[in-house]
Amino acid sequence: MRLLPDSPLAPDTGPKRSGNPSDPEREPRGWRALAVALAGLLAQSDRARVSDAQRHESEIASQRAAHDRDLLQDREAFLGVVAHELKTPAAVIKAYAELLDAQLADASTPPSTLREVVANIRDQADLMSGLIEGVLDMQRLRRGKLPLQISRIDLAQLAQTVANQVQQTTPEHVIRVVAPDPPPPLLGDRARVRQVLANLLENAVKYSAHGEIEIRISHGRRNGRDCAIVAIRDEGAGIDPENLDPIFDLFHQGSANPVRGHVGLGLGLYVARQVAHAHQGEVWAESPGTGQGSTFYLALPLDFASPS
């Protein structure tokens, strides 16, 4: 008698499949292949993420290295300009001091001549102090540590004071202050706001040989806020459109050569903009183009509250 495979008396020839549907032996081979494929895809995705992360880190390292090189170049250029600018007043002070020493030894030298020499020494020392203070201001601004001494400011009156002081240095220009609708007094650091006005006005003088410079004080809105707005318009060298914003960068020198005076450290407009930002305000420039003059603006919000 031949026993059928399904007979209870048939010998056990191998493992039987479980009746449990979750038994792996019952899973179709297609599912196993799919699981293997998914595992491979996951592993490939992980490798791609690692590769992307490594590539990103490499790009960051490359950008950091390029930034460090640019910073080093800027620092070297800045130190060269500082050394050159400080060298000039130092040499003048030395020469006048030697002249003063010789004149003091000559009893016939009139007192007026001695006073003139002393005045020149003082002017050059003030110039040197201003250059050094500009460097210190730049460091404070870069670190975000510019202290503000807040008080009430009459902007029209302050602008007139600055205009009178700068006018004494430039008989070639006529500086006018116009305030048909002056803003109410505002809160700010008087010394710092004066510094901004002086930097913008001296820039206008530097880049115009002669003519009228108008300082217009008005009350308007800027970026949705009530502001006191100062517009300083000159008839000088003008600015190319592509340079209207870069001229406020650190160490930037205008494309046009200054008409009067030395080139400077390239800090004046940078400091002006950063001081305005410290007052939650703005500084910007407009110009029709080269040779057509320019207008520099300062906007200070009337609702400024110094951060505690």
DSSP H helices in 238-295: 268-278
**Pair 264, 257: CB distance under 8 Å:** no
Decide which of 238 and 70 is more confident: 238
Give me the pLDDT at residue 277, please: 93
Residues 246-270 pLDDT 10s: 998 876 665 556 666 555 566 789 8
Say which range, 237-246, 254-263, 280-289, has the weakest mean pLDDT. 254-263
DSSP H helices in the chain: 29-105, 111-142, 155-167, 190-206, 268-278
Residues 70-88 pLDDT 10s: 666 666 666 666 665 676 6
User: What's the whole-number average pLDDT of the chain?
Assistant: 80
Whole-angstrom distance, CA of residue 217 vs CA of residue 186: 13
Give me the pLDDT at residue 185, please: 94
Among 287, 181, 282, residue whose Cα is nearest residue 222: 282
Q: Which CATH class is domain 150-301?
A: alpha beta
Whole-angstrom distance, CA of residue 213 vs CA of residue 235: 7
Surface-to-core class of residue 178, CB atoms within 10 Å of its CB (0-12 exposed, 13-18 middle, 19+ buried): middle
Give me the pLDDT at residue 4, please: 47
Which residue type occupies 260? R
- Overall size of the chain counted in residues: 308
Residues 16-72 pLDDT 10s: 554 454 455 555 566 777 777 777 777 777 777 777 777 777 778 777 777 667 666
Decide which of 172 and 298 is more confident: 298
| All structural domains of the chain with their residue ranges | 28-145, 150-301
Domain boundaries 28-145, corresponding CATH code? 1.10.287.130
Q: Indicate whether 9 pLDDT > 60.
A: no
Say which range, 20-24, 69-73, 128-132, 150-154, has the weakest mean pLDDT. 20-24
Render the burial of 25-63: b for 16+ CB within 10 Å, e for the rest: eeeeeeeeeeeeeeeeeeeeeeeeeeeeeeeeeeeeeee
**Domains 28-145 and 150-301 are alike in CATH topology:** no
**Pair 293, 299: CB distance under 8 Å:** no
pTM for the full predicted model:
0.63
